[in-house]
Amino acid sequence: MAVRYSTEEHAQADLVHRLQSDFITFEEVEVVPASFPDRVLRPDVIAIPRNEEYSDFLIAIEVKVGNPKGTGDYARYLKQGADYVLGKIIGTKPPDKRLKAFVGRPIQAAFLFPSYDDSYFGGNKEKQLRAYGMHQLAARFKVGRIILSDHGLSLVMGAGANQVWVEGRGWTPHAYGLIKGKRQIGSQRLKFET
């Protein structure tokens, strides 16, 4: 069962607190999306791993609280995450000197927090299967979900147990491929360099 928060502010504060030992986090970061270069987006959180081996992973996190009215709302949340992927960081408001080294670098992946589990769809099997399919498709666009359970926080790509990072344990062996692996654009699989 997913943890439920009363406000996005509370969810975001808890998330940032839980990530702080393994990630440098920034809030109110401005990102220019790859698909709309004349727009500026603001993911709720940008997380950059403290572990040097993974420090080139720039991760956007979108925080959503409340019950989605249906799978259409949930799909929009995942799409919002996809808009951040490959977007380039341009700064923060107010400016944060710590972010200077990351300006101009692309977001590698995005995650939705908290993840919506089966209970959000009232046990409706059809909606649960739709959500499962959305997770699989979203993973193709480097969009995952953050699950908070009794065992802690984990970043997951796809519908299964494709954990890329687990609170208290760190990065999994296949994290690099799931986050930085080739992204399908049209019929071609392209590797985007940072």
Residue 56, in any domain of the structure: yes
Residue 149, in any domain of the structure: yes
Residue 144, in any domain of the structure: yes
- Residue 16: which domain range? 8-190
Q: Label each residue of 115-158 as H, E or C.
A: CCCHHHHCCCHHHHHHHHHHHHHHHHCCEEEEEEECCEEEEECC
The pLDDT value recorded for residue 123 is 73
Please state the pTM of the whole predicted model. Answer: 0.87
The pLDDT value recorded for residue 1 is 46
* Contact indicator for 161, 175 with CB cutoff of 8 Å: no
Residue 127, in any domain of the structure: yes
* Pair of tokens at residue 185: 């654009």
Question: Looking at the 3D structure of the chain, how many domains does it have?
Answer: 1
Distance CA 117, CA 176 (A): 25
Residue 73, in any domain of the structure: yes
Residue 2, in any domain of the structure: no
Residue 86, in any domain of the structure: yes
157: Cβ contacts below 8 Å, ≥ 6 apart: 109, 139, 142, 144, 164, 178, 179
Residue 1, in any domain of the structure: no
* Under-50 pLDDT residues of the chain: 1, 194
58: Cβ contacts below 8 Å, ≥ 6 apart: 46, 48, 89, 102, 105, 106, 107, 108
